[in-house]
Structure 1
Amino acid sequence: MKDFELLEIRLHTEERGRVDVPFAQSGPAPAIELPEGAVVGVGLVFRLGRDIDGLAFEDTRVREGSVLARTHTALGGFRAGGPYEIRLSAERLPVGRAHCGTYEVTGRFVDGDGQELAAGTYRVRLTHEPAAAGGGLPPEGPVPAAPPA
């Protein structure tokens, strides 16, 4: 068994439920479509071949060649075995047409010494979903006559 084996990455959303992420270790992964403003949490499922102290998940988010954000999330120490499932804090995706498009997320797992254990990339396409027509007001048209008294 390898020291670290990534089994799954999942996105958890209120709008779409659980979405399994195609996580490519080489070449482009197909993009997952999510609506702007969605609340998304990341779930990581992995197994270990040895005890690892200071396990961390790092991600870099890129859009149109520009790095938008880098995060480093300390996961803690784990004994050999598993599978382990970790859910990262949920966050709201940006809102507005200017934010729509395809984002590439590169995730890396590192141990306490900074040694890379696994890495890969997934893509998310943020889509614009217009509000319901009329903003929730009743449809326009003739008002029905009151019943005779």
Structure 2
Amino acid sequence: MNGRPGAADFELVDMVLLREEDASVRIRPAQQSDTLEPLDLPEGGVVTLSLVFRLGRDVDGLTYTEVRIREGVPGLPCETHLGSFRAGGPYEIRLRPERLPSGHASCGTYEVHGTFTDRRGRLLAGAYRRYHVSPHSADVLLPGSADGGARTPGGAVSG
């Protein structure tokens, strides 16, 4: 837990990015950091973000909001209402699957700033991740994969 207001009430335990090909990548919960290596993902791929958290008190109207930034330009906030939860956990919530952008102009590095708030709008926690969208033809390296090898968008291991 961190020292921000509401931190004793909410602990982000884990973030896992699930890929359409059944590969998963654990994303360590982090504050903003330029040293955090971006995940390499294929353009047009389908991913689902899984959030695992614990609560120190009952929370009504838990909401996860994220803003993606590409080349310094923020996109529109995307808000997901997670519901109300009793103290305890861990709870695991899988967000809706999303298709990554595709096309030459969409390739590049994205920063994602996420926040967890309650019904009253109080900030409970923040999360940060980076990913790099690569063309389909490139092998994609999945950090934390069991074999450490590069994976192509079809799931085959190379190298």
Same fold (TM over 0.5): yes
Change (3 A) 1:64 1:45: same
Structure whose alpha-carbon radius of gyration is higher: 1
Change (3 A) 1:65 1:25: same
Structure 1 distance, partners of 2:37, 2:76, is: 21
Out of 67, 76, 80, the residue aligned to residue 74 of structure 2 is: 67
Structure 2 distance, partners of 1:18, 1:81, is: 25
> What secondary structure sits across from 1:69 in the alignment?
coil
2:152 corresponds in structure 1 to: none
Structure 2 distance, partners of 1:26, 1:14, is: 27
Structure 2 distance, partners of 1:16, 1:67, is: 30
2:24 corresponds in structure 1 to: 18
Task: Give the conservation status (yes or no) of the 8 Å contact 1:49–1:81.
Answer: yes
Structure 1 distance, partners of 2:123, 2:110, is: 23
Structure 2 distance, partners of 1:105, 1:52, is: 24
Consecutive unaligned residues of structure 2, counting only runs of 5 or more, are 2-7, 139-159
1:135 corresponds in structure 2 to: none
Number of equivalences: 131
Q: Note the aligned Cα RMSD (angstroms).
A: 1.6
> How much has 1:23 moved relative to structure 2?
2.9
1:51 corresponds in structure 2 to: 58
> What secondary structure sits across from 2:75 in the alignment?
strand
Q: TM-score, normalised by structure 1?
A: 0.83
1:116 corresponds in structure 2 to: 123
Consecutive unaligned residues of structure 1, counting only runs of 5 or more, are 132-149
